[in-house]
Structure 1
Amino acid sequence: MNLEDLRQLRRARDVMDRDYAEPLDVPALARVALMSPGHFSRSFRAAYGETPYSYLMTRRVERAKALLRRGDLSVTDVCFEVGCTSLGSFSTRFTELVGESPSAYRARSHGPGEPIPACVAKFLLRPVRNGEAKAPGRP
């Protein structure tokens, strides 16, 4: 993969990071990366080790976790707030990445993690699929 392709993929990834709540799909992201949808999907997976959809859903679940910790929104409201259109799909993906349902996550106490700086919390609390290898130094 050449550097120009990586630069274009990073542009698309930045759009997912910034606009995760918008209705993003592979053709739209491929346009940002100036690639065909098929080439974009294959290149993204090769560069980042996951599909564009998986990356986007991980961003959405990260944001959903923060909203659920606040406790002032329902799971349904959080689902739509982070850009998901199906509560069932959101709950399934959330459970897959976090290891518990959004309702269970919302219901439990989150007090001890509050003083952790956001940059550390983002690394430590990033959702990963059950069974995936964990990063070094990660619980």
Structure 2
Amino acid sequence: MCHPSWARARAEAQRLSDLARLRRVRDRIDREYARPLDVVALARGVGMAAGQLGREFRLAYGDSPYGYLTARRIERAAAFLRCGALGVAEARLAVGCPSPAAFDARFTELVGMPPAEYRRLVRRAVGPVRIREAPATEPQLA
């Protein structure tokens, strides 16, 4: 029979391992938000069952993996619309949302207005933002 302190230590080690796996999933979503991602593939990538990943991710981050993914996509799309470089359809495709209706609904839910209205208001308020590349510099040798 295990000593109680060993059992606690083992449980704590498992909890830390699970949190590290959840962080890897979240980091992958943050990096690959524009690519097609599904919960089964995300779970497989960290050696978890999809249902387990969904439950534990929601406990740790307050949202499902898919909810977190769509929120990141909308966040990135809003940034594209703010800078004025892309229209709504281009921003939607750039962040990996294939469905215009789903994109519009989720954008409206999270931002509080449809993406076209958001783009109009932001452009009217500040005008398009120009993104300039930093001048290329040669590394300085000391």
The TM-score range, normalised by the shorter chain, is 0.7 to 0.9
Unpaired runs of at least 5, structure 1: 115-139
Q: Deviations over 1:57-108 (max 9, x none)?
A: 1110110011001223221111111011101000100000000000011001
Query: What CA distance in whole angstroms lies between the structure 2 residues aligned with 1:66 and 1:19?
Result: 16
Letter in 1 for 2:126: G
Q: Deviations over 1:14-62 (max 9, x none)?
A: 0000110000010111012210111111110111111111101111011
Query: What CA distance in whole angstroms lies between the structure 1 residues aligned with 2:77 and 2:66?
Result: 16
Map 1:100-115; keep pairs closer than 5 Å.
100-109=113-122, 110-111=125-126
SS in 2 for 1:23: coil
Aligned CA RMSD, in angstroms, stands at 1.6
Query: What CA distance in whole angstroms lies between the structure 1 residues aligned with 2:61 and 2:87?
Result: 32
Aligned-residue identity in percent: 51
Give the length in aligned residue pairs. Answer: 113
- Give 2:133's aligned residue: none
Unpaired runs of at least 5, structure 2: 1-13, 130-142
Residues 1:98 and 2:111 aligned together? yes
Task: Name the one with the larger helix percent.
Answer: 2
The counterpart of 1:26, out of the listed 24, 27, 39, is 39
Query: What CA distance in whole angstroms lies between the structure 2 residues aligned with 1:48 and 1:72?
Result: 32
Query: What CA distance in whole angstroms lies between the structure 2 residues aligned with 1:38 and 1:48?
Result: 15
TM-score between the two structures when normalised by the length of structure 1: 0.77
TM-score between the two structures when normalised by the length of structure 2: 0.75
